A and B are shown apart, each in its own frame.
Chain A
Amino acid sequence: GAGVSQSPSNKVTEKGKDVELRCDPISGHTALYWYRQSLGQGLEFLIYFQGNSAPDKSGLPSDRFSAERTGGSVSTLTIQRTQQEDSAVYLCASSHRVIYEQYFGPGTRLTVT
C-alpha cells in the first residue's frame, strides 16, 4: 500500500518568506508526527497529532512554526518569516496509534537563502 508522502521534496526560499510543507499519512493511521533533521543531527521532535485530540506542540522551536491536520488526515507545517537556521530536512511520520512504530515519509529539504 501507499506509504507516507510529503511535498514538496525540495524547497528553496528567501529569508523572511513563509513556507508550507505537506504530509499525507498512511490511510487509517491516527497519529501523525513532524520532525526536523539538521545536517548530521538526530531527529528533533516538533509536534504530534493523535486523532481529534489537541496536538502536542511542545517541540515547536518558536511561534513562527505552526501545524494543522485537517479531517484527521493531511497535515501542513507552516513556517512564517523563515530564517537561515530553519534550513533542514522536515520529516513527517504516521503510526496506527501512539506508541506504535512510526512510518516516515521521504522528507522535505528546506533551504533558506
Chain B
Amino acid sequence: EDQVTQSPEALRLQEGESSSLNCSYTVSGLRGLFWYRQDPGKGPEFLFTLYSAGEEKEKERLKATLTKKESFLHITAPKPEDSATYLCAVQAANNDMRFGAGTRLTVKP
C-alpha cells in the first residue's frame, strides 16, 4: 500500500537556524512527489514537484531534494513568515494522490 510519512511532526526553530524536513514514501510507480505549504484556515499552496531521484528544486529559502525512498525540504536561514505546516504528497502510477500528515514548522524571531 502506498504510504507517506513525514518527520518530525513539529519543529521549532530560531530565526536563521537552518534545518530539514523529511518525507519518506513507498509508492507503486512514482509519477511525482509534491511539496505544499499550508497556513492555518487555508488550503495548501503548491511549492515544488519532483519527478525522479536526484532531482532538486529551489525557491527562495527552500530547497527540495528527492531520492528513491525519501524527499527532504531544506530551509535555509528561516524567517518567522516561513512558519506553516509543510505537506508532502506522492502521486502513484494509477494517479492516486497520498498526502503525509505534515510537519508543523514554527520559526521564532
Contact = CB atoms under 8 A, between A and B. Distances in A.
Interface in A84-110: 91, 93, 98-107
Contacts of B46: 101-103
B87 A43 contact: yes
Contacts, number: 55
Interface residues of B, number: 23
A100 B46 CA distance: 11
Contact of A101 (B34, B98, B99): B34
29 contacts: A33-B97, A35-B99, A41-B101, A42-B99, A42-B100, A42-B102, A43-B44, A43-B87, A43-B89, A43-B99, A44-B99, A45-B96, A45-B97, A48-B95, A56-B96, A59-B96, A93-B44, A98-B95, A99-B32, A99-B95, A101-B34, A102-B34, A102-B46, A102-B97, A104-B36, A104-B43, A106-B41, A107-B42, A107-B43
